[in-house]
Amino acid sequence: MRTPMASTARLILSHAVILLLLLLCAAKPATSYGWIPVNPSSYLVEDTVLRALRIYDDSIIDNRLFLIFFRRGLRAKRMSIGPKIFWDIEFQGRMYICNDGMIAEVSVHIIIILAHSHDMFPQINWQSMTPWRG
């Protein structure tokens, strides 16, 4: 025979499990639309930065195909003004320009603006560091 206390406990537990599953689904960062993950030090920042570089018109290096690989020194700062969220991200990386076969160490500074958490308009600047040989 079930007691009212046991039934209430089961009901609370089942609702807690459903709520936990909903929270886990909602907390998953949606990077397919260029969202920045909640934790800027997570591995998804690299994916987001690479996505920002792909979205951005690469005419800043004369429309040459390039790849940039995250290396070290990640610094991310979150700011918000009104409905817009800004991520100011700096890191060091390796840039490979495919047409020239050039590999160089670069310092990358990116400002990503998220309007209503789904639009991404990156402003990208980088400066060369010591050339990487290897």
Q: Could you tell me which of 55, 60, 73 has the C-alpha nearest to residue 122? A: 55
- Whether 4 has a pLDDT exceeding 50, the answer reads yes
- Whether 52 has a pLDDT exceeding 50, the answer reads yes
pTM > 0.85: yes or no:
no
Q: Please give the Cα distance from 86 to 126 (Å, whole number).
A: 18
**Inter-CA distances, 51 with 34, 37, 62, Å:** 7, 13, 19
Q: Could you tell me which of 107, 104, 123, 93 has the C-alpha nearest to residue 64? A: 104
Classify domain 31-128 at the CATH class level.
alpha beta
Q: What dihedral do alpha carbons 99, 63, 86, 103 form, nearest 10°?
A: 20
Q: What pLDDT was estimated at residue 103?
A: 64
Q: What pLDDT was estimated at residue 79?
A: 72
Q: Taking all residues of the chain, what is their mean pLDDT, rounded to a whole number?
A: 54
Q: What pLDDT was estimated at residue 26?
A: 40
pLDDT digit string, tens, across residues 38-51: 444 444 555 555 55
Tokens 């990640």 sit on residue:
74
Structure tokens at 78: 């979150």
The percent of residues in the chain predicted with pLDDT above 70, rounded, is: 4
Tokens 């397919």 sit on residue:
32
The confidence band for 34, taking pLDDT boundaries of 50, 70 and 90, is: very low
Q: What pLDDT was estimated at residue 81?
A: 72
Q: What pLDDT was estimated at residue 55?
A: 46
Strand order in the sheet with 66-81: 66-81, 84-97, 102-115, 119-128
- Whether 58 has a pLDDT exceeding 50, the answer reads no
